[in-house]
Amino acid sequence: MTDKDNVKNDTENEKTDKDGENSEKSGSEKEECIEADDIMKEMEAKIEAAAQEAKDNHDRLLRVSADFENYKKRSAREMEGLRKFANESLIKEMLPVVDNLERAIDSSNNNGGTKNSIVEGVDMTLMEILKILEKFGVKPIESLGETFDPGFHEAVMQQESEDHAENTVLQEFQKGYMINDRLLRPAMVVVSKSKAKNEKNKNE
């Protein structure tokens, strides 16, 4: 074998070695690219999962906040209701006492007697009780001369009248009372009815 042949062989061997190295490098670079893609996909998946979890947590926080606000409003309404109507039962039991005091004063006035110290004392007691009731939102229902309203009045009888429109309250047997915006006790009243209508019914 000549020197030329040896040089040729050495050149071919170097070329083969370089091709092998290039091939190995190319394969290694591909593997690195594949690994990088996998890592990127994994990171993107984790970021997406984290974003979804954050969104879910935000939605839960909004729901909890809304529930808490509703709870606060409901509690405030309940407390307001308790404040307004907590003494309703006690006040209702006190109304007959007020009725009796009013009857005693009316009876004294109807008898034409002058007010003595006892009547004046009863009158003052009644006024004090009414002031206390007013502090708790209790007010009498105005009934005389008003149109009968079943929401506030309880008709115990009817009476013919030519001077009043039909269903007008002519007399009040017992005062009605409101506590704040709620009916505490209806007024017991006498209601007018048309005389002409009554006679028409008789003729029929």
Residue with tokens 């984290």: 50
Which residues of the chain, if any, have pLDDT below 70?
A: 1-32, 81, 111-115, 196-204
Q: Are residues 130 and 176 in the same domain?
A: no
Say whether both 168 and 105 belong to one domain.
Answer: no
Vertex 179: Cα angle to 167 and 78 (nearest 5): 130
Q: Which of 95, 116, 136 is the last residue of a domain?
A: 136
Q: Do residue 144 and residue 203 come from a single domain?
A: yes
Tell me, what CATH number does 203's domain have? 2.30.22.10
- Domain co-membership, 49 together with 128: no
pLDDT tens figures, 180-204 = 889 999 999 999 988 755 455 555 5
Identify the domain containing residue 202 by its residue range. 139-204
Please give the tally of structural domains in the chain: 3
Residues 160, 96 share a domain: no
Residues 5 and 80 in one domain: yes
Cβ 98 vs Cβ 130: under 8 Å: yes
Distance CA 201, CA 204 (A): 5
Element (H, E) at 96: helix 88-110
What pLDDT digit, counting tens, does each position of 77-87 carry? Answer: 777 767 777 78
For 147, which DSSP code? B
State the pLDDT at residue 190: 95
Give pTM, 2 decimals: 0.58
pLDDT confidence of residue 7: 44
